[in-house]
Amino acid sequence: AEPMVQKHLESLQSSCGNGLETGALQRLTNLLLVEGLTDIQQKEHDILQVETTKGLPSVSKSIPLEKLFLPLSKVSIPPRISVTIGVAGIGKSTLVKLFACSWAKGEISRDITFVLPLTFRELNTYEKLSAERLICSAFPHGAEPGCVSAGAARTLLILDGLDEFKTPLDFSNAVVCTDPKKEIQVDNLITNIIRGNLLQEASVWVTSRPAAAGQIPSGLVDRMTEIRGFGAAEMKDFLDQMFLDNRDLSSQVLQHIRANRSLHVLCTIPGFCWISGSSIAYFLKHNSDQSREAAVVPSTLSEIFSYYFKMALSGDWLEKPREALRIEQAVNTSRKLVGSLGRLAFYGLLRRKHVFYEQDMKAYGIDLSLLHSCLSTRLLLKEDMQASTAYYFSHLTTQEFLAALYYYTAAKRAIFDLFTESGVSWPKLGFLSHFRAAVQRALQAEERHLDIFIRFLSGLLSPQVTRLLAGWLLLKDEPGGLRSQAVAVLQGCLSAEPAVSWRAVNAMRCLQELRHTGTARAVEEAMRSGSLAGMLTPMNCSALAYLLQVSDVCLEETNLSNCLTYSVCKSLLSQLLFCHSLRLDNNQFKDDVMELLGSVLSGKDCQIQRLR
């Protein structure tokens, strides 16, 4: 079997080695060792997780990549089931490629005889599989599948991207199967492998976005690790790599990112940093020569994406400018494409579907010949697999922005509820009733998959974005009256609940996207001058919770002296968890408040390090 193994090693090096730039990979050689998923990881949207924890890991234990599958001590055994989590765009697939490539070169984990990488994207294309066929699809160079489960050889089966799997794993009702030749439903096959009924000799490594990883019962996971985002130096290096021939531009972009705390936090995600970096650079390049717009650097998510899409539509990537006439044609073609891609993005998002296949493309009327334009490669990526081709958006937020664009445009003329794809529903007329329906749907959803979609939908009503996209993706002369009505809808969500929830914080962020910043500004001023006492109405409490995440006033220390009552303290509890340094002097607290604070300090998510 030697030549076959050699062939396998070579094919891994060529398939996994491409696209790995050495500079950006240092971060992936050390992972965080975590005890399991926190509350916020199980429930909240990836972007909200990063915003809430400010992109800082709550654990200090780390493990080098080369020890990922080794015992932690002399007396323990190697993990059989390892799970690595990371938010969208943080580099999970890159990590898998890096590991497989380093292993194939003989640089790490030499105790492992076979590394068999598979993606859930590929597994989606099978209806049924046996354990043996699964091994053969990962190891197509023809060795007997038996050798993989033979006792002496240690095999590592990598299953990348559980969050992209089309069927949720159901461990409580899965039928037991111990026959490696038997063809069974793919989800059932995976649960049996993880439980150890099949391929029990093999080690299994699953990567996933945090919430989806919760499908695997924690009792079955031997080791959980997390990928951390960029540190300050890594972000700088990443941008320097992006603008290799223009260091000046790179440092200007970094300056703008650092000046905006909420943006800076999100740019710890490489996938998002790339989009923001491209947008800000495009803005700087175009506004130096035409400052008549008296434009402001894009700072909200919607502004970042508006520039990104404008750049994509005009084909005006930083590398090559285009002549005007061809831009005109390209824009018209792109508009059609964005329309059909938007519908795919929206209904995909509703079903939590992020990977699409050719039959999906046909069903949504997407012209596959148009997909090879420059535009789509920045928005939609494709991966050719053995049996078919998979398409996926360049980042989760790209899908969410397209979905919001589709909804925004469709809501102007739709007469039925857009959330029911069949179109059979009570009549719904007017943009505002569709906007209200979307906000209610997002805020009531048990899962938080619509949180960023709703932020983008709000942002499309902001004057800056409307001006930017007028005549491109939005009609010229959009009525301004919608904005104030949308503000009222969002403010209605702020005073609805006694405790400040993540939903309220998200509604505050929607108001920021709309550029309705008055409430937050007033509360921030009061914090600066120490005059918060008596101001903390439910709406202002939501604004305060939002400021705890983004304001520079809370950067060194969050000072809530002289202003908290029992009920305000109770309503803010879930948000105070994430303040590193908290000052609560002179609040005349009674025992009941001390009990509350005690419960916070012992919480799993708690990041408070100093309390006065």
DSSP track, 35-75:
SS--HHHHHS-HHHHHHHTTT--S---EEEGGGTTS-SSTT
The owner of tokens 């990348």 is 160
**Tens digits of per-residue pLDDT, 120-131?**
999 999 999 999
Angle of the 591-601 helix axis to the 566-576 helix axis, nearest 10: 10
Half-sphere exposure of 40 (CA within 13 A, CB side): 24
289 against 189, higher pLDDT: 189
Residue 480 confidence (pLDDT): 65
What tokens were used for 450?
């619509």
What tokens were used for 51?
């915003």
Q: In what order do the strands lie in the sheet with 558-559?
A: 558-559, 581-583, 610-611
pLDDT of residue 384 exceeding 90, the answer is no
Cα separation, 190 vs 192, whole angstroms: 5
pLDDT of residue 210 exceeding 80, the answer is yes
What tokens were used for 558?
């969050």
What tokens were used for 592?
């009941």
Q: Do the bridges between strand 62-64 and strand 81-85 make them parallel or antiparallel, or are there none, so unpaired?
A: unpaired
- pTM of the predicted structure, to 2 decimals: 0.93
596 against 33, higher pLDDT: 33
**In the structure, what pLDDT confidence band is assigned to residue 433 with cuts at 50, 70 and 90?**
very high
**Tens digits of per-residue pLDDT, 495-543?**
767 788 888 999 999 999 999 999 999 999 999 998 898 898 989 999 9
- The 3-state secondary structure of 415-464, one letter per residue: CECCCCCCCCCCECCCHHHHHHHHHHHHHHCCCCCCHHHHHHHHHCCCHH
Judge whether 247 and 288 are in contact, CB under 8 Å: no
Cα separation, 412 vs 432, whole angstroms: 9
What share of the chain has pLDDT > 90, as a percent? 55
What tokens were used for 130?
């046996």
**In the structure, what pLDDT confidence band is assigned to residue 173 with cuts at 50, 70 and 90?**
very high
Q: Do the bridges between strand 355-357 and strand 81-85 make them parallel or antiparallel, or are there none, so unpaired?
A: unpaired
Residue 150 confidence (pLDDT): 45
270 three-class SS: helix
Domains of the chain: 3-227 (3.40.50.300), 232-299 (no CATH), 324-478 (no CATH), 485-611 (no CATH)
Q: How far is CA 79 from CA 67, 72, 543, 548, in A?
A: 11, 9, 45, 39
- The amino acid that residue 207 corresponds to is T
Average pLDDT rounded to a whole number, residues 46-50: 94
Residue length of the chain: 612
**In the structure, what pLDDT confidence band is assigned to residue 143 with cuts at 50, 70 and 90?**
low
Q: How far is CA 36 from the centre of its chain?
A: 19
* Secondary structure (DSSP) of 183-203: -EEHHHHHHHHHHTSSSTTSE
φ, ψ of residue 129 in degrees (nearest 5): -150, 150
What tokens were used for 224?
């959980």
Cα separation, 533 vs 515, whole angstroms: 26
Residue 292 confidence (pLDDT): 45
Cα separation, 311 vs 286, whole angstroms: 10
Residue 148 confidence (pLDDT): 54
Buried b (16+ CB within 10 A) or exposed e, 523-558: bbebbeeeebeebbebbbbbbbbbbbbbbebbeeeb
How crowded is residue 132: how many other Cβ atoms within 10 Å of its Cβ? 20
- The amino acid that residue 424 corresponds to is V
Helix or strand (DSSP H, E) at 114: strand 114-119
The owner of tokens 């938080």 is 448
Q: How far is CA 218 from CA 36, 61, 77, 213, 224, in A?
A: 7, 19, 18, 9, 9
- The amino acid that residue 152 corresponds to is A
Average pLDDT rounded to a whole number, residues 176-202: 96
The owner of tokens 């919430």 is 211
